Structure 1
């Protein structure tokens, strides 16, 4: 199996933070977004993980050089993004026909059982039941649980199973064929080469797709949603019990980075402190604090703290 992670976007809704870093490298819950995704997928022991990068691609490359434990990785450039379908097409030359492929969008976090893919006989799209399907692309299934149609933002009810951005493809040759056709004939939806359109072509060509559930779907696309996601992920990565600082109270869950200095502070709940931070007389909760920040004599709530 190989994995493709599309991470070329500019993350405009997260500015000014993405002026400094690509979205996938933003910290949340004591790790970067991409750390959470890759480490979760590593249980499948992929032969290679392919990153489709564009905006600040050099930052991605630098980060991967610090991650030898991730095994074989490759950065493929998409400097003029033309849609998710085009991004995947750029990664497909490094995937053999018949070789299983897992595609995971690099801008959301999730709780899902990926281990079941080792035994999957069909293509699989992970979905999450939503109360308002009109905001999402959804998968329509038949009585056998097979996907019959993919519908983008349906205005009348056809399904409540929203497609979350995790795609397991066994019929890689058919995916390649569909994307080549779309690109050669410039078939676009909303101005872009869409992966969903290629998957629909595969369904119409007879490829079988089934759904698998996502237990939790976490958004990192806006500052306020990233802060909410931070509080959830900290429950998985709370290391606050390992630290004691003079005059300081730490209320879990929190994640404390390396070489952090705290003096007379109240930290937490739900605070991620990056490496080399220094805080004196600070009361802080529900925040993500980037590495190397210094704060004194302040009260901070519900913020991303970064010098950018």
Structure 2
């Protein structure tokens, strides 16, 4: 299997770190996000990765050149931001396989890719977790205070996809797959979901995310 990593964003919420290094090189427990992702993909049998880059792409290339991670790496460089759909369409030209994985460049997880690969054009989903404490109430009284919890049977996009190569022709040259092709495919009944319960999942988008992920990373990617 091959995979595309969407790693071209500027990571503005992680400033000032991302003023100096691209988001994929932001360290989680002294190892860059992109390295954790490559180890994760390799674990599930991915042999080749196309990394979509833009902002400070030469720093990502230089870092990975000196690493030997046992996985073939190619780059799809965006001179101007193409959105997730445009990025996948451009990178997809380097893939001849019938299907491939896509993962957002800030996602750290232990979602089982082999399970995801069993469905065509599928989105990995996890149960939505609140970011805030949840109150249980009876009339006007609080009966229990709970910290972050999963909201049962409300599913969110985990930012990991298994896509058939045929989808490339429908992708925009510029624009997000989540706002163009996915809604269209969903209407036509051509989009599948694979639900994952009790998995580790982080979207590293803030300093708090970095801190929380660093405490769990050794359990997530072994």
Q: TM-score, structure 1 length as denominator?
A: 0.59
Preserved CA contact (<8 Å) 1:8 1:54: yes
1:286 is matched with which residue?
Answer: none
2:147 is matched with which residue?
Answer: none
Alpha-carbon separation, structure 2, partners of 1:52 and 1:8: 6
Alpha-carbon separation, structure 1, partners of 2:23 and 2:69: 22
Preserved CA contact (<8 Å) 2:52 2:76: yes
Deviations 1:68-98 (A, max 9, x none): 33322111111211311111111011112x5
Q: Which runs of structure 2 are paired with 1:173-252 in the superposition (5 Å)?
A: 173=166, 175-179=167-171, 182-183=172-173, 193-196=175-178, 197-213=180-196, 215-234=199-218
Alpha-carbon separation, structure 1, partners of 2:220 and 2:186: 37
Uncovered stretches (5+) of structure 1, i.e. residues with no partner: 133-158, 184-191, 239-308
Match of 1:164 among 151, 158, 162: 158
2:95 is matched with which residue?
Answer: 95
Deviations 1:122-152 (A, max 9, x none): 33211111156xxxxxxxxxxxxxxxxxxxx
Deviation at 1:20, TM superposition (A): 1.8
Distance 1:14 1:123, change over 3 A: same
Alpha-carbon separation, structure 2, partners of 1:69 and 1:131: 33
Superposed CA RMSD: 2.5
1:124 is matched with which residue?
Answer: 122
Q: TM-score, structure 2 length as denominator?
A: 0.79
Preserved CA contact (<8 Å) 2:182 2:191: no
1:302 is matched with which residue?
Answer: none
Preserved CA contact (<8 Å) 2:116 2:194: no
Q: Which structure: larger Rg?
A: 1
Preserved CA contact (<8 Å) 2:200 2:220: no
Distance 1:44 1:110, change over 3 A: closer
What SS class does the counterpart of residue 200 from structure 2 fall into? Answer: strand
Distance 1:74 1:116, change over 3 A: same
Q: Answer with 213-222 or 200-209: which moved more.
A: 200-209
Preserved CA contact (<8 Å) 2:40 2:221: no
Deviations 1:136-183 (A, max 9, x none): xxxxxxxxxxxxxxxxxxxxxxx72110100011x211x11211xx33
Alpha-carbon separation, structure 1, partners of 2:85 and 2:59: 23
Preserved CA contact (<8 Å) 1:50 1:74: yes
2:138 is matched with which residue?
Answer: none
Alpha-carbon separation, structure 1, partners of 2:183 and 2:78: 23
Say whether 1:21 aligns with 2:5: no
Q: Which runs of structure 2 are paired with 1:224-303 in the superposition (5 Å)?
A: 224-234=208-218
Deviation at 1:204, TM superposition (A): 4.2
What SS class does the counterpart of residue 108 from structure 2 fall into? Answer: strand
Distance 1:107 1:205, change over 3 A: same
